[in-house]
């Protein structure tokens, strides 16, 4: 069978070439050529139309008010946190990209979701290019009877997968993962940009026709970007990111893009012996586990539109190293550097010659400036060797370069969450205008010189 011709187009300047080049002959950029299927002869695209094809009849634009909207009921995955992040469940005919590092629980989550749907009488299909059917069964055995009901196809050939999707017409389908499928139309290896794009485009086509809701699983690289799958972001309706650390139990699920809902919601899960369990009372757990020892502070964070109390811990220890270590988990390293600089310059807590370790407990990742004050107070508390007093407190606020505390979104919801869990003292930009004032309020009046404990 003759294979359709392929071309290589530059992702920077759009130049096309029948051959692959390391350097684009058009713009001179390196490694920008991506393999694509050549358009069928005579097919008129945007470019073809311009080159003198028959003029198409003008279509009529209609006012938005007259556009008919069909409210299709969503598919409920039976996992409340997943449904919430999706904006109320899976939309038929939509494409959802689920990204996350290996071992985080993507296969577990998707298998559980299909299991619930299958038990609710929906047609489902689980396509795995990664694991054998036997391996998937072993996982499903841990997840319970529902998960074992899901029909599975262990296949890496895209055409075979598409044929099965057409034949079975599932209402919900998981492709695990988009990087393992391979289209014979392209020469490049599975997982390359050209292949990933081709796989997703053709699956989207079938999904739209049959009304199948597709969950595409994609691996992320160490740097945290959806390499490969990143090129799919504009093509899919929804991008979900599954985060956490493999060794820890807590995982967060957030939407980076959502055509059918907000990107503010975050789901919290816990990996248990029998699959992922939803954590509905995350604040209670984190506050309950907080040590209240020197170096421990509770942060009233916002995870999307949901307030979440998490413990931030710091350790400050004398160092022989030049420069000393700055290690943080669950936070941005550059943000830690900034906080330490302001702490030293404007609040009298210098940790220049000490190793500093900061950790957001529970494997949660906090990506908001509101965490600054918590990091600063945890470091100050660790450096002085005194716990925050008199009672355990919660805090939030951004730190400015001149040592002031700056307001962040939803102060009242953060304070309410803290109060709900018994943390009556809340340090915020409203109660402490500067970082110096915040350190004083949290750690007392001792203005003695600070040495690394």
Is 110 a binding residue for Mg ion by CB under 5 A? The answer is no
Going by their DSSP bridges, the two strands 33-37 and 393-395 should be labelled as unpaired
How far is Cα 268 from Cα 244, in angstroms, rounded to an integer?
10
CA distances for 33 relative to 13, 15, 212, 354, angstroms: 10, 9, 32, 48
| Contact mark string toward Mg ion, 59..98, x via CB under 5 A | ----------------------------------------
Is 104 a binding residue for ligand TYD by CB under 6 A? The answer is yes
Alpha helices in 37-168 (DSSP H): 46-50, 80-86, 106-119, 133-143, 145-148, 158-168
Is 107 a binding residue for Mg ion by CB under 5 A? The answer is yes
Q: Cα angle vertex 73, ends 72, 78, to 5°? A: 150
**Contact between residue 452 and residue 317 where contact means Cβ atoms under 8 Å apart:** yes
Is 107 a binding residue for ligand TYD by CB under 6 A? The answer is yes
The span of 101-109, 150-158, 201-209, 353-361 binding Mg ion (CB under 5 A) equals 101-109
Provide, rounded to whole angstroms, the least separation between the CB of residue 219 and Mg ion.
8
How far is Cα 190 from Cα 26, in angstroms, rounded to an integer?
26
Provide, rounded to whole angstroms, the least separation between the CB of residue 142 and ligand TYD.
4
Is 251 a binding residue for ligand TYD by CB under 6 A? The answer is no
Nearer to Mg ion, 64 or 273 (CB): 273
How far is Cα 111 from Cα 275, in angstroms, rounded to an integer?
10
* Helices 435-443 and 372-384: angle between axes, nearest 10 degrees: 50
Provide, rounded to whole angstroms, the least separation between the CB of residue 110 and ligand TYD.
8
Is 179 a binding residue for Mg ion by CB under 5 A? The answer is no
Question: Looking at 9, 32, 77, 108, which residue binds ligand TYD (CB under 6 A)?
Answer: 108
Nearer to ligand TYD, 3 or 142 (CB): 142
The span of 16-24, 103-111, 301-309, 321-329 binding ligand TYD (CB under 6 A) equals 103-111
Is 271 a binding residue for ligand TYD by CB under 6 A? The answer is yes
Give how many residues touch Mg ion by CB under 5 A: 1
| DSSP run (H or E) holding 215 | strand 213-219
**Contact between residue 168 and residue 123 where contact means Cβ atoms under 8 Å apart:** yes
Question: Looking at 273, 323, 390, 445, which residue binds ligand TYD (CB under 6 A)?
Answer: 273
Provide, rounded to whole angstroms, the least separation between the CB of residue 265 and Mg ion.
24
Question: Looking at 78, 100, 190, 295, which residue binds ligand TYD (CB under 6 A)?
Answer: 100
Q: Which two tokens stand for residue 433?
A: 């205008």
Query: What CA dihedral angle connects 196, 198, 203 and 204, to 10 degrees?
Result: 100
By the 10 Å C-beta count (0-12 exposed, 13-18 middle, 19+ buried), 71 is classed as exposed
Nearer to ligand TYD, 215 or 427 (CB): 215
How far is Cα 50 from Cα 63, in angstroms, rounded to an integer?
28
Nearer to Mg ion, 148 or 386 (CB): 148
Provide, rounded to whole angstroms, the least separation between the CB of residue 161 and ligand TYD.
18
Question: Looking at 139, 248, 292, 413, which residue binds ligand TYD (CB under 6 A)?
Answer: 139
The span of 67-75, 82-90, 102-110, 203-211 binding Mg ion (CB under 5 A) equals 102-110
**Contact between residue 94 and residue 268 where contact means Cβ atoms under 8 Å apart:** no
Question: Looking at 74, 76, 84, 106, which residue binds ligand TYD (CB under 6 A)?
Answer: 106
CA neighbor of 300 nearest in space, from 418, 433, 425: 418
Give how many residues touch ligand TYD by CB under 6 A: 15
Is 428 a binding residue for Mg ion by CB under 5 A? The answer is no
Place of tokens 């908001």: 368
How far is Cα 365 from Cα 304, in angstroms, rounded to an integer?
12
Residue nearest to Mg ion (CB): 107
| Residues making contact with Mg ion (CB under 5 A) | 107
| Residues making contact with ligand TYD (CB under 6 A) | 100, 102-108, 139, 142-143, 271, 273-275
């Amino acid at each position: 069978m003759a294979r359709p011709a392929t071309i290589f187009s530059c992702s920077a300047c759009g130049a096309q070439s029948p051959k692959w080049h390391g350097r684009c002959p058009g713009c001179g950029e390196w490694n920008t050529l991506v393999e694509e299927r050549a358009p069928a002869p005579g097919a008129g695209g945007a470019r073809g139309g311009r080159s003198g094809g028959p003029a198409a009849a003008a279509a009529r634009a209609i006012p938005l008010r007259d556009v008919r909207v069909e409210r299709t009921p969503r598919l409920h995955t039976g996992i409340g946190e997943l449904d919430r992040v999706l904006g109320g469940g899976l939309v038929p005919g939509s494409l959802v990209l689920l990204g996350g590092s290996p071992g985080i629980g993507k296969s577990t989550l998707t298998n559980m979701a299909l299991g619930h749907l299958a038990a609710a009488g929906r047609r489902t299909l689980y396509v795995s290019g990664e694991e054998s059917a036997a391996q998937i069964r072993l996982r499903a055995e841990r997840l319970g009877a529902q998960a074992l009901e899901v029909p599975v196809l262990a296949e890496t050939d895209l055409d075979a997968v598409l044929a099965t999707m057409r034949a079975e017409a599932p209402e919900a389908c998981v492709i695990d993962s988009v990087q393992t499928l391979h289209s014979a139309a392209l020469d490049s290896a599975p997982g390359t940009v050209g292949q990933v794009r081709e796989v997703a485009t053709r699956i989207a086509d079938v999904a739209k026709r049959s009304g199948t809701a597709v969950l595409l699983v994609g691996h992320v690289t160490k740097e945290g970007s959806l390499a490969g799958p990143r090129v799919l972001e504009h093509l899919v309706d929804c991008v979900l990111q599954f985060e956490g650390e493999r060794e820890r139990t807590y995982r967060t699920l957030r939407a980076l893009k959502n055509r059918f809902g907000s990107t503010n919601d975050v789901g919290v899960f816990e990996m248990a012996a029998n699959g992922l369990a939803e954590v509905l009372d995350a604040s209670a757990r984190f506050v309950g586990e907080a040590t209240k020892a020197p170096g421990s502070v509770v942060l009233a964070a916002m995870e999307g539109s949901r307030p979440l109390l998490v413990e931030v811990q710091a350790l400050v220890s004398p160092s022989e190293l030049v420069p000393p270590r700055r290690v943080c988990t669950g936070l941005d390293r550059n943000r830690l550097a900034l906080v330490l600089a302001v702490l030293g310059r404007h609040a009298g807590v210098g940790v220049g010659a000490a190793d500093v370790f900061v950790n957001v407990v529970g494997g949660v990742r906090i990506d908001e400036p509101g965490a600054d004050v918590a990091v600063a107070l945890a470091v100050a508390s660790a450096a002085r060797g005194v716990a925050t007093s008199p009672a355990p407190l919660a805090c939030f606020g951004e730190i400015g370069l001149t040592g002031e505390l700056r307001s962040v979104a939803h102060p009242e919801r953060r304070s309410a969450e803290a109060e709900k869990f018994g943390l009556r003292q809340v340090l915020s930009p409203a109660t402490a205008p500067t970082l110096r004032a915040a350190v004083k309020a949290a750690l007392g009046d001792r203005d003695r010189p600070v040495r690394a404990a």
